[in-house]
Structure 1
């Protein structure tokens, strides 16, 4: 019996050896790679929780690419950001932006998930924490005039304290918000996809109960207006795809369209801004007419670049959210493997992070490191 099992044992040992070599060699390569020091200011002023989902994805790619602080220390998502922290279970500790910001290589603006109206009301009632302030906006503008690269996610602007704060940031971002936000929804009755506060606002304005079922796209204005694009009548499928322009594809190296299913900001880019990617919808004539009647831009810009005193990128969505922060950041090339092998399916966790965010941020970080213009 031992002889019969010997071939299986040998095969198993050989397989384990091959797997070990395949993993150990990239790990050794990562360990031997020289670190790159960059001074990156992460600003995440959302209400804190232990997931740190607003900036954890950025820190993962910084560590995987061996980008370190000027001190040589690796970035830590629990400590190396400006915003609110949890100590002894209480979210009352604030790390404020420093007086000197112009010696920074990159400022990254983000926040936790898109804030529903309920969460916004909580922030207003609880003055212990707040989003981006006028002071923050002034310091960010000061850095921009000195050539510091700025990257901003939609969540950061939606979490700003006031419209005045956002107005201070629009000129350096090369865009303005239309006031509308949207999301692809697979079930219009789902409270996970359509927040209760959104429904309540609709029912108060329309004087009737929330009538929608099935799939579609929900559009919400800051003043409480709600428009629903129903699948079949207004949109053919209700899916939204992230589509790079030709220039954006050449810049990022991404040529495939990728499904996007989170909240997004409907913006109006400045004429001088470059749109690198769009949100693609399959609107029917009826759906197009609904947008026109509401004064909503027909095209939804997803990723823009603006060249002024500095270079800024605006991500009109929640691109960098990462749920699972893994050891695999210490494996050289793991980012490429995940980008290639992660299927573009809605049920796959962190799908958009791997398919779009990682390649885009690697390109931006490369530009910051080399001082290279995006077209070079």
Structure 2
């Protein structure tokens, strides 16, 4: 019997090594990785709950790659940002942002920061906490880029430091005055249009389409007689248009394309599907396009795009280099990540996840995170560290 037990254990040791040995080795390698100190200021005004969804992807990367504050402390998604802090109670929560800082304090922050990251300024609304209020767009509780945020970005740019700004940071509910100043500062121009992909436009089959969106479309087009995959474009003025797959465009899901050889040397997949919100912006000539959106419009779809004042291709990620730093704009909800990533304290975990979540699988948001956002932000952080 003892001999049989020995044989049994002998046969199981490779499995034991796989389950226990490899993770342990991965953790030990992570522990030995060098720490990099980087001063990062994060703004996120769209925090609805403890998942910190709009900036969770950034903070996972910071911990995995062992970026720490100049003080030596680790960055934490729950505390190290300016914006809205939900309470989970009837008061919804409270804001802790740059309005509480003097101009001198903001300038000091900018001079000490290596990177300012504006994840989202859309804000929080009553409907985020009370789903019964979702028939129409609900009242705003807090949100929008303000003069204090703009001062931080402006001073950071003047100091030659790096800035990353994501989708919806300059769109509604940011005021037109603040937006215009931001556009002039960053060399960008929002067309006023945002868009989103839905894998099914038939509301009887897809309950994820917001009721307010359907109502708004019905007011302008009489009925929502849409079905199948499609894109919904919404303009700040309220105009709304639907592009139906195979009628108006031929790439079922919008694709983010990256040239294999690009001026700034970003190593990214050449094609990644992107099924989430994006905005359409125009850029000045000193910007380099890292990646761009391609919906492959039909001839009819191209006519419709032109009638809306939209280009054939939309910038997805762009960068321009200043004397010392770089200015990035991500024209999509890139750092938005819901769900568990796994512990960041294991070396090689992103490589494992990229193997499990293939780039072509858009059904799971984690696929986009591991195949596009993680390598993109990793290289951005690396460049910031070098500068």
Q: 1:298 to 1:17 in 2, by over 3 A?
A: closer
Task: Show CA shifts across 1:316-368 (max 9, x none).
Answer: 00111222344531011222332344223122241111100111111111111
1:72 aligned counterpart, secondary structure: coil
1:305 Cα offset (Å): 0.5
In the alignment, structure 1 residue 109 sits paired with structure 2 residue 118: yes
Counterpart of 2:133 in structure 1 is: none
Matches within 5 A, 1:1-20: 7-20=7-20
* Structure 2 unaligned residues grouped into runs of 5+: 129-135
CA distance in 1 between counterparts of 2:126 and 2:181 reads 23
Q: Which moved more, 1:145-154 or 1:301-310?
A: 301-310
Q: 1:323 to 1:298 in 2, by over 3 A?
A: same
In the alignment, structure 1 residue 167 sits paired with structure 2 residue 180: yes
Verify the 8 A CA contact 1:268 1:297 in the aligned structure 2.
no
In the alignment, structure 1 residue 367 sits paired with structure 2 residue 383: yes
1:6 Cα offset (Å): 5.1
Task: Show CA shifts across 1:93-120 (max 9, x none).
Answer: 2222242222111000012889899779
Counterpart of 2:92 in structure 1 is: 91
In the alignment, structure 1 residue 200 sits paired with structure 2 residue 215: yes
CA distance in 2 between counterparts of 1:269 and 1:210 reads 34
In the alignment, structure 1 residue 271 sits paired with structure 2 residue 289: no
In the alignment, structure 1 residue 178 sits paired with structure 2 residue 191: yes
1:288 Cα offset (Å): 0.6
CA distance in 2 between counterparts of 1:217 and 1:116 reads 24
Q: 1:249 to 1:343 in 2, by over 3 A?
A: farther
Counterpart of 2:61 in structure 1 is: 61
Verify the 8 A CA contact 1:123 1:130 in the aligned structure 2.
no
Alignment partner for residue 304 of structure 1, among 297, 318, 323? 318
CA distance in 1 between counterparts of 2:190 and 2:81 reads 26
2:31 aligned counterpart, secondary structure: helix
CA distance in 1 between counterparts of 2:247 and 2:220 reads 23
Verify the 8 A CA contact 1:82 1:95 in the aligned structure 2.
yes
1:2 Cα offset (Å): 7.0
Counterpart of 2:36 in structure 1 is: 36
CA distance in 2 between counterparts of 1:188 and 1:262 reads 14
Task: Show CA shifts across 1:176-209 (max 9, x none).
Answer: 1111111222111245553221221122233x12
CA distance in 1 between counterparts of 2:351 and 2:184 reads 35
Q: 1:181 to 1:366 in 2, by over 3 A?
A: same
CA distance in 1 between counterparts of 2:286 and 2:321 reads 8
Q: 1:339 to 1:164 in 2, by over 3 A?
A: farther
Q: 1:10 to 1:349 in 2, by over 3 A?
A: farther
Q: 1:248 to 1:163 in 2, by over 3 A?
A: farther
Q: 1:178 to 1:116 in 2, by over 3 A?
A: farther
Counterpart of 2:52 in structure 1 is: 52
1:172 Cα offset (Å): 3.6
Counterpart of 1:238 in structure 2 is: 252
CA distance in 2 between counterparts of 1:365 and 1:36 reads 10
Counterpart of 1:358 in structure 2 is: 374
CA distance in 1 between counterparts of 2:242 and 2:88 reads 43
1:306 Cα offset (Å): 1.9
Verify the 8 A CA contact 1:54 1:112 in the aligned structure 2.
no
Q: 1:4 to 1:123 in 2, by over 3 A?
A: same
Q: Which moved more, 1:131-140 or 1:276-285?
A: 131-140
Verify the 8 A CA contact 1:258 1:352 in the aligned structure 2.
yes
Question: What's the TM-score, normalizing by structure 1?
Answer: 0.89
Verify the 8 A CA contact 1:132 1:157 in the aligned structure 2.
yes
Q: How many residues align?
A: 367
Counterpart of 1:374 in structure 2 is: none
1:47 Cα offset (Å): 4.7
Question: What's the TM-score, normalizing by structure 2?
Answer: 0.87
Alignment partner for residue 292 of structure 1, among 306, 309, 325? 306
Task: Show CA shifts across 1:154-182 (max 9, x none).
Answer: 03333553122222222343321111111
